[in-house]
Every structure is written in structure tokens, then in C-alpha cells.
Amino acid sequence: MNHLHDRALGALYGLAMGDALGMPTQIMPRRSIVARFGTVTGFEPGPAENPVSAGMPAGAVTDDTDQAVLVGRLLVEGDGHIDPLRLAQELLEWERAMKAKGSFDLLGPSTKAALEAVSRGVPPEEAGRSGSTNGAAMRITPVGVAFPDKPLESFVDQVAAACRVTHDTTLGIASAAAVAAAVSRGVGGGGLEDAFAAAITAAAAGAERGHWVYGASIAARIEWAVELVRGLPEERALDRVNDLVGTSVASQESVPAAFAVLALADGEPWRACLLAANLGGDCDTIGAIAGAIAGSLSGASALPTEALTTLRSVNGLDLEPLATSLLELRAAAAG
Ligand SMILES: [Mg+2]
């Protein structure tokens, strides 16, 4: 396997790994995780007391992986272009299928509001005008695999297009641009500090797009969160992320939190995903973002073999063809 393919695959499986490790502890407070698990050290089934993940088997992924794969498939089918109406329809279809399975892991607040608007006949370019939570960032990874992060403005165009129908806002686009740029830099062969720099630059550019919504700067908060945890012992660092950065679905909390755990783990994928799982809050999404970036930096060959086997067998995941197709788009985009 060549390096590019290994890194593209690492991004996709890293995302799934962080998502599945965070599944059992999502929406739990950190103190409850400590009481229930001590420290999460691997895949766990959804515990009975978790209203979203109760009954899910160890290693099961959630909406983060499902929707990222969906975005990837639409990108490939559209030859690098996502049709916003089609994305809306497919997300609604996905939620119907999840409800039919009895799942409680459904659409997030921005996506749900936007898709309800589309269903009422609001045009797709208006539907996402207030979406500012982390749903676009959680599913943007395939865009980072499919496009080089330079030139910056055309890269941010691609990110903004994928955000349009649900998260057409300064915060939504900035947070998705940060994640996509870090992944793209990783796939392109960069290291952890390159990924941080690319994320901060792209977040600043993304904040110039979409409808303005109030909220702290994603770029500034990523830079701050990474510095906040440097040199701290792990437990203390996780407490700081929990108390200061925040782990909510707000983009300006969970996205900088993902960069903080990446810094804390020094970019090591399994470690970063476990740190996220122990945070609680929206930790499946924090883990999915951190895992995607870490996986793009290290490649799938650096992910634990047993974890990959679990992810494939529990979820029926086969991400190799998607990685190949996204890299074909990347080759075409690079000319
Ligand atoms: Mg999720």
C-alpha cells in the first residue's frame, strides 16, 4: 500500500475508531465516566444508563462515521461536487433508517433544523443559515481526503459547499475547515504541527464564509486549546479540557477539544481516541475528529490491528474502496 492510500485509510478508520471508543461515554459527565469505568481503555458496549448508546455492542460506530461515509459517497458520485438537496435527502433517509432500527442516535440540532426547513420548501442555500454546532465538522473528513488544502481559498470553497445545506455559518464552516485542512495536510504527508497550522489558517479563512453567527473564534480557540494542555499530566489536562475548553456540541467547544487531545496524545491515534472517550460530553464526535486527524498523520498501518478487525466486523465497515475513490478525486484536483 502506498503512503497516500495508507494515510487516507488512516483518516477514515481513525474517525471510526474515535467514534466507537466514545460511543459508550457520549453525553455522560466526566465524573460519571470515572465512577462507572475508572478509565476507558478500549471498546466498551453502551452502558444501560446511557440513553443514547444503551444496548450498542462494543466497537459500534455512531452517526459520525455513518454521515462521514455518506458525505464521502456523495462526493465520489458527484465527481467532487456535493449536491446540497441530495445531501439533505440522504441525511433524512439515514435518520429514518436509524429510527426504524430503534436507535436514539439521530440527527444533531443544526442538521435537524436545516433538514426540517428543506422539507418545508426552504431553498437549500437558506436552510443552513443558523447551523453552528459540530455536525459539519464531524462529517467533513472525506473532503480533507479528496482535496489538497492548498490553494487555501479553493479548498475552503469545497468545505463551504459541503456545509451549505446544514451549517452555512461562520462557525460551522470555520470548524469544518479546521478539521478538513488538518486531515488534508496529514494525507499529504505532513506532521502534527503542520496539521495544527493548517487547521488554524483554514479556520480563519472559513470564518469569512457563510452567515455570521456570534461565538468565539474557532481558529483562536484551537491555538489556545493546544497550548493549554501542553506539558500537563493527562488527568489534569483532561480536567482542563472539560472545565475550560468544553465538550458540548457547540463547534467552539468540541472542535478545539479534539485538537487538545491530539496535542496531549502527541498525534498518536489510539491514545488520542481514548483520551477523548474519557472526556465525556460529545466525546464520540471529539474522538472521531481527533481520530481522523491522527489517522491521517500516521496512516492505517499505525492503527491497532485488533481495533481495525473489531471496527470492520461489528459495523460491516469496508472503507478501502472509499479511500481509493477519494484519492482519485484528490489526484484530479491536484491536476
Ligand atoms: Mg455520534
Question: Which pLDDT belongs to residue 125?
Answer: 87
pLDDT at 188: 97
Q: Are 294 and 45 in contact (CB under 8 A)?
A: no
Residue 1 has pLDDT above 70, yes or no: no
How close is the Cα of 26 to the center of ligand 1, in Å? 8
- CA 311 – ligand 1 centroid, Å: 15
CA of 62 to the centre of ligand 1 (A): 5
CA of 115 to the centre of ligand 1 (A): 18
- Report the separation in Å between the CA atom of 108 and the middle of ligand 1, taken as the mean of its atom positions: 9
Query: SS3 sequence, the chain?
Result: CCHHHHHHHHHHHHHHHHHHHHCCCCCCCHHHHHHHHCCCCCCCCCCCCCCCCCCCCCCCCCHHHHHHHHHHHHHHHCCCCCCHHHHHHHHHHHHHHHHHCCCCCCCCHHHHHHHHHHHCCCCHHHHCCCCCECHHHHHCHHHHHHCCCCCHHHHHHHHHHHHHHHHCEHHHHHHHHHHHHHHHHHHCCCCHHHHHHHHHHHHHHHCCCCECCCCCCHHHHHHHHHHHHCCCCHHHHHHHHHHHHCCCCEHHHHHHHHHHHHHHCCCCHHHHHHHHHCCCCCHHHHHHHHHHHHHHHHCHHHCCHHHHHHHHHHHCCCCHHHHHHHHHHHHHHCC
> How many angstroms is it from 283 CA to the middle of ligand 1?
8
pTM above 0.75, yes or no: yes
CA of 193 to the centre of ligand 1 (A): 27
Q: What is the pLDDT of residue 104?
A: 86
pLDDT digits (tens, 9 = 90+) for 110-167: 999 999 999 999 998 899 999 999 999 999 999 999 999 999 999 999 999 999 999 9
Cα–ligand 1 centroid distance for 63 (angstroms):
5
pLDDT tens per residue, range 269-295: 999 999 999 999 999 999 999 999 999
CA–centroid distance, 335 to ligand 1, in Å, is 35
C-alpha of residue 281 to centroid of ligand 1, in Å: 11
Centre of ligand 1 to C-alpha 291, Å, is 13
Model confidence band, residue 335 (pLDDT cutoffs 50, 70, 90): confident
Indicate the pLDDT class of residue 22, thresholds 50, 70 and 90.
very high
Find out whether 36 and 324 touch, Cβ atoms under 8 Å: no
Per residue in 174-190, pLDDT (tens digit) is: 999 999 999 999 999 99
